[in-house]
């Protein structure tokens, strides 16, 4: 149970960190498109600021999303255990994509997260959920289940 909790917490934190940096870069790209010069020091300051301020908000979005996605993935892995790693990766990505869709449909602005305004941004941000699924599965089951069952104890 501790291993599962650590794996889940690591998945949320890892996905939140990567997603925050992606979101920051999309925002900075929009600023530079306005012909504003953004040097490396400003980029680093902005990343740190976003990690401290947007990161926790994104982690709060990820927590229930990945919890539901991983429960579904676990159920699917009982049905088709040979695809277990894939279920968690796909579940994290699709779960986060669905969360973005629901949140964006409820938010008063066009999108809650600016990076989601483009297809590339939406796919990259959703892929952070898939990354979280990969982290979870790798930490919970370091070896694919079929390989672990073949190894002597």
Domain segments of the chain as ranges: 2-143
- This prediction has a pTM of 0.86
**Strand, coil or helix: 111:** coil
Q: Is 35 left (phi over 0), alpha (psi -120 to 50) or beta?
A: left
| Residue 146: predicted pLDDT | 55
CB 136 within 8 A of CB 7: yes
What is the sign, positive or negative, of the torsion defined by CA atoms of 98, 104, 106, 107? Answer: positive
Q: Give the model confidence (pLDDT) of 40-82 as tens digits.
A: 999 999 999 999 999 999 999 999 999 999 999 999 988 888 8
User: How do residues 14-49 score in pLDDT, each as one tens digit?
Assistant: 999 999 999 999 989 888 888 888 889 999 999 999
Q: Distance of alpha carbon 73 from its chain centroid, rounded?
A: 15
């Amino acid at each position: 149970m501790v291993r599962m909790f650590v794996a889940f917490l690591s998945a949320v934190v890892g996905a939140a960190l990567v997603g925050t940096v992606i979101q920051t870069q999309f925002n900075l790209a929009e600023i530079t498109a306005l012909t504003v010069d953004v040097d490396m020091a400003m980029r680093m300051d902005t990343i740190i600021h976003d990690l401290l301020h947007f990161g926790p908000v994104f982690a709060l979005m990820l927590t229930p999303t990945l919890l539901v996605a991983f429960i579904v993935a676990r159920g699917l892995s009982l049905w088709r255990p040979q695809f277990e790693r894939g279920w968690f990766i796909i579940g994290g990505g699709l779960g986060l994509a669905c969360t973005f869709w629901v949140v964006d449909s409820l938010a008063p602005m066009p999108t809650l997260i600016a990076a989601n305004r483009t297809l590339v941004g939406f796919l990259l941000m959703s892929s952070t959920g898939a990354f979280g699924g990969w982290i979870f599965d790798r930490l919970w089951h370091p070896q694919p289940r079929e390989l672990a069952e073949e190894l002597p104890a």
